[in-house]
Amino acid sequence: MLKDFFWRKSYTRFPASGIIIILIVTILTLLGIIILFSASQAMHSNPVALLKKQILWLVLGVIIGFFVFRLDLERIRSLIPIITGAALLLLALVLIPGIGVKVNGAQRWLDLGLMRLQVSEIGKIGLLFCLAHYLAMHRRSLDALKEGFVYPFSFLGLFVGLIFLEPDYGTAFLCGSVGAVLFFVSGIKLRYLLPSAGIALLLFCVAIVLNPERLSRITSFLDVESNRSDSGYQLWQGIIAFGVGGIEGVGLGSGQQQMSFLPEAHTDFIFSIIGEELGLFFSMGVALLFLALLILVLFQLKYAPNLYQYLLVLGSLLMIEFQALINMGVVTGCLPTKGMSLPFISYGGSNLVLMFILIGVILNCLCHWSKVPLKEAREL
């Protein structure tokens, strides 16, 4: 039966690490709902408009995440070629005029009627399963040119390239970075990895230089104050929000930056609203929660029974952590401006659902791993 093929028949007791992960995610999500309500008051005559949509996405994310949590990740390995093909097909379809929806010059969405789907989020899932399965299957032959260079880098390049063409430079960089880490830990030789990474970074820099809009983000990042009235306006307002909030914050609903001063206050720059309204301690608390999630899951990786599950959990974790790091780096002026959501907190349905899928993968594995670290080589 289909249920017997996909769903695990038994699993060990729910570990304490899983409870802590759920607690961290719950705190971040509730904080996002609270801040979103505050930030949306100045954006709509009905202040709960965005809130209702986000709660609907949240419910959907929890349901799908629970489904992923119950999946037998070993048995679905036979379906990974289909998952990979479907993800690549969607990434290609969104580039076709008339099918993909263009917003602010980027063609990243598919219109499904009741909602818009950002297909790069599905691309992330396809990439993770594709690389984890391939690298585990060919672990003993990664020294070879084809198995250790041509095939894996082609898979990664195809996903990253399609996302890059949308264009979505930030997500392409994120996927490339996660893929590079998975390559490294799986044992791909540095003689393949380092030159490929160098060439990729060079092409990335050339693409930025040839794109005036993205080049302006770099120049404004290097001198925010001089560009505060044009290309650096958003970043400048975000920095002001942190300065106004200080240590204790101005209080929920009392912030001024979401009052049409700070663009995308409810999405990419929601961390600035946290800094303004709740202050430095709450902002540091958010960062520490992501750090706690990182450390907790990294310590659990030693229990992974095989390389496939090890890479799935590590890749899922890095997708969350790298995205959070990029978002907070941008908002605080440590990185050039890039539209990327803060996981579990920013408004946006597709990314919120993806985050719960990734958490579902992590909890799925942690609940079925033995609590005794393996002393012998892991299976593939």
> What pLDDT score does 379 carry?
52
Mean pLDDT of the chain: 86
Residue type, 333: G
Sign of the C-alpha dihedral computed for residues 52, 65, 328 and 87 taken in this order: negative
Is the confidence at residue 163, as pLDDT, over 80?
yes
The percentage of the chain sitting over the pLDDT mark of 90, rounded to a whole number, equals 50
Is the confidence at residue 220, as pLDDT, over 80?
no
> What pLDDT score does 102 carry?
80
Closest CA to 4 of 48, 69, 70: 70
Mean pLDDT of 188-203: 92
Distance of CA 251 to the CA centre of its chain: 29
Return all residues near 206 (Cβ < 8 A) that are at least 6 apart: none
Most confident of 108-122, 305-319, 340-354: 305-319
> What pLDDT score does 299 carry?
94
The percentage of the chain sitting over the pLDDT mark of 70, rounded to a whole number, equals 88
Return all residues near 231 (Cβ < 8 A) that are at least 6 apart: 216, 217, 219, 220
> What pLDDT score does 115 carry?
74
> What pLDDT score does 301 carry?
95
Mean pLDDT of 189-209: 90
Domain ranges of the chain: 14-366
Read off the pLDDT of residues 7-61 as tens digits, 9 standing for 90 and up: 555 555 678 899 999 999 999 999 999 988 877 766 555 667 778 888 999 999 9
- Stretch among 82-86, 159-163, 276-280 having the lowest mean pLDDT: 276-280
pLDDT interval class at 307 (50, 70, 90): very high
DSSP-assigned letter for residue 15: P
Q: Is 253 left (phi over 0), alpha (psi -120 to 50) or beta?
A: left
Read off the pLDDT of residues 331-380 as tens digits, 9 standing for 90 and up: 888 888 777 899 999 988 889 999 999 999 999 999 888 665 554 445 55
Whether 345 and 31 have beta carbons less than 8 Å apart is answered as: yes
Give this prediction's pTM: 0.92
**Long-range contacts formed by 257-260: CB under 8 A, 24+ apart:** 258/38, 258/39, 258/41, 258/42, 258/43, 259/42, 260/42
